[in-house]
Each structure stands twice: as C-alpha cells, then as structure tokens.
Amino acid sequence: MLRQIFIVTALNFRSLVGRFWQSMVIVVGLAATIAVMLSMLSLSTGMREAYAKAGDPDRAIVVSKGADQEGQSAITRADAPVIADAPGIAKDKDGKPLADRGLNSGVPVLRKDGSKGFTTMRGLADKGQGVRPELHIVAGRMFQPGKRELIVGLGAQAMFQHMQIGDKVILPAGQWPIVGVFATGDLLEGQLLGDTETMLAALHKTSYNSVLVRLTSPNALDTFKKALTTNPALSVTVERHSDWYKRVGDQSTFVLALLGYVVGAVMAVGALFGCLNTMYAAVSVRGREIATLRALGYGAFPVAVSVILEAILLAVTGALLGAFIAWALNDGKQSMFGAMVFHLSVSRAQFELAVTWATVVALLGGILPSIRAARRPVVEALRAT
C-alpha cells in the first residue's frame, strides 16, 4: 500500500511541471493569504514579544489589589517601605532590598509623520537600575535623582520627534531636558524615564503605581507573596513580573490578533475555492493516467492520497513563500501602536502556523477532488478524450 502511494505520488509530482500555471493558483492563493495574515499578526506578535521581554521571572510586581494594569494601581508612600521589607527580596551590596517604587504617566509626543500620539513616562527610584539590570545608557548620561531630567529609549527616539539629548519635554510647571538615551531590548525602549520622586511631585500625585522587586530566586515568589497578602495592613496584588507582562500583553493584543486571524480566515476561504478548482482540474486532466494506473492494479486509495498530497505540497509551498514575504517585509521593523513602540515580528511559530493553515486548506480543498479521482470508473475514464 505505502509503496503504491509512493509510486503514484511520485508520478503525480513529475507531471506537475506540465500543470505549472494551474498549480500556481494554489501557491499564489496561499502565499497571498499567509503574507497578509502574518503581516497583520506581525503587529500583535511584535507587541507581545516586547511585553514578554520586559517581564522577568526573577522579578515580582506589586500593585494595589485587583489592579490589572499599572495605571489602575496606587501604592501609597506608607505602603512602599512595608513592601520593601518583605522576605524574598534580593539585597544589593549595601544590604538594601532591591525594591523600586514605580510611577507611570502618559505623555503626549509628536510622531515622525507629524501626527500626535502619546507614550509612557515612567518613574524609577533609587533601586531602579538594580531591579532592572538590562537597562543601560547608550548615549549621554543617566538622569540624576532629585533633578528634573529624563532619559529616552531608543525606540521612542526612532519614532518620535524632539527626543534628542538636549530636547525638552513639557511637564507641569516647567520643561524637563533629555539627558541620555537608554536601551533595554523591550517595551521600555518606547518610553521616557525619570526620577520617581521628582516626577511624583511635578505631576501632583500622592501615590506610586507599583513596586517592582528583584527576588532572591524565582522560587522566592511564594514567600514574598504570602508575606504581603497576609499582612492586614496592605491591600495588594503580587504577580511574577513575567506572568504580569504575559497577561497584559495578551490582553492588549487580543483584538489586533483577532483582526489578523479574521482577515486571514476570509482570504483562506477564497484560497480554498481556488484550491478546489485547481485540484478538480488536475484530476480531470490526469483522468486517463489515473485510469491506466487503476487498470494496472493500483488501488483507489493510493490515487486519492496522491491527490491530497499534491494539494498539500502546493499549499505548503505557497504558505512558506507567503510567510517569507511577510518576514522580509516586516520582521524587525520598528513600529508603534498606541503608546507602544516595538519591533514587528514574524517568528518561527508564525511559520508553523502558516504550514498548519496551508495543510488544512489543502485537506479541505483536496478531499472532494481526490474522491472523484478515485471513484471514476476506469473504463469510462480510459475512453474519455
């Protein structure tokens, strides 16, 4: 049986060259479908990756109870030291806990194309760099605590105007100069950073948004969490930083990803009709060849399988071509959406998704023609012109 499938399929593939343009309908159909879908998904995938990279299993974030975004959370000045004293937090060389009081605010920006948008301005306190060792200055210098200064991320610098060292950012009661450029390799690169306490005063805020801590080890989360959640003086939620960003990333990219899948699905339906068309034409062109094989004693099943395998080969070729186009056009390109700056991404998982979709389309588009090919009476097919 397997040998028969192999022989019929090989014969089949050899005759593909003669049906080149007809076969290209499937290849182009899937290539167009996958190129469009993965290009759209490169947005949500890139955003999710930027979020995911910002999370670290060695860190935990503390927000007010029930808050699922930093913006909704408020940690009072009184609560912050209590949180920093909890067990499970790593200490710096002076024996101080690596716990940092964070602040978030939207800040209006002018995009490179002249349109107006906004990004996030984030406050880091004295332990900011200790908690986030991935943060390093690539130009200029770090902001000084207590001074009205900001540093800008590489991504923000690439996407927005007036983000060079020496430029000024309008804040309440005065403009703050940009004194440095930083890199983190994650979502923070699209943001501005400054000193938490100075920013807090300027924005007339009375509470922090979060406390971010470095754990002694990833396993220390439970100890830390238990200490905070059982403390009756606190009303906070503790989450592993990597879990936090995975959830926030999934939430904020859900609709974008859905749009990509919906458009991809609609195009896949169009490609499916093309696939059906091509495979029907293929079995009708190969009618006599198939009948000859059957007359020689080859079974109906190997014939049917060969038709489906041909559809899969063509569809997967098209899908890989489409995925490659989407990758070449988008992958790594600096992009933005709302307050997020990130790199578009067409990852390995996307290529696998493309192959899966192509296989499904080919199965659906190949099965009916394959049944027709296998069922056609041999004598009738041999006589047909």
277 binds other proteins (CB under 8 A): yes
Burial class (CB in 10 A: 0-12, 13-18, 19+), 167: middle
Q: Which residues 288-347 are close enough to bind other proteins by CB under 8 A?
A: 335-338
Q: Stretches 57-65, 178-186, 224-232, 278-286: which one binds other proteins (CB under 8 A)?
A: 278-286
The least distance separating other proteins from the CB of residue 306, rounded to whole angstroms, comes to 20
- Please return the burial class of 259, using the count of CB atoms within 10 Å of its CB with bins 0-12, 13-18 and 19+: middle
Of the candidates 171, 316, 373, 381, which one interacts with other proteins according to CB under 8 A?
171
Q: Is residue 32 a contact residue for other proteins (CB under 8 A)? A: yes
Cβ closer to other proteins: 37 or 213? Answer: 37
Q: Judged by CB under 8 A, does residue 116 bind other proteins?
A: yes
Q: Does 17 bind other proteins (CB under 8 A)?
A: no
Minimum gap (Å) between residue 43 Cβ and other proteins? 8
The Cα–Cα gap between 55 and 302 comes to 51
Distances (CA, A) of 198 to 120, 171, 235, 252, 361: 16, 11, 26, 30, 58
**Which of 5, 8, 40, 312 touches other proteins (CB under 8 A)?**
40
- Amino acid letter, residue 344: L
Residue 50 belongs to what H/E stretch?
A: helix 20-54
Contact between 180 and other proteins per CB under 8 A:
no
Alpha-carbon 96 to chain mean position: 36
Q: Which amino acid is at 245?
A: Y
Phi, psi of 85, rounded to the nearest 5 degrees? -85, -5
Q: Return the number of the residue (89 or 121) whose C-beta is nearest other proteins.
A: 121
List contacts with other proteins (CB under 8 A): 21-22, 24-25, 28-29, 32-33, 35-36, 39-40, 43, 105-108, 111, 113-117, 159, 170-175, 203, 255, 263, 266-267, 269-271, 273-274, 276-278, 280-281, 335-338
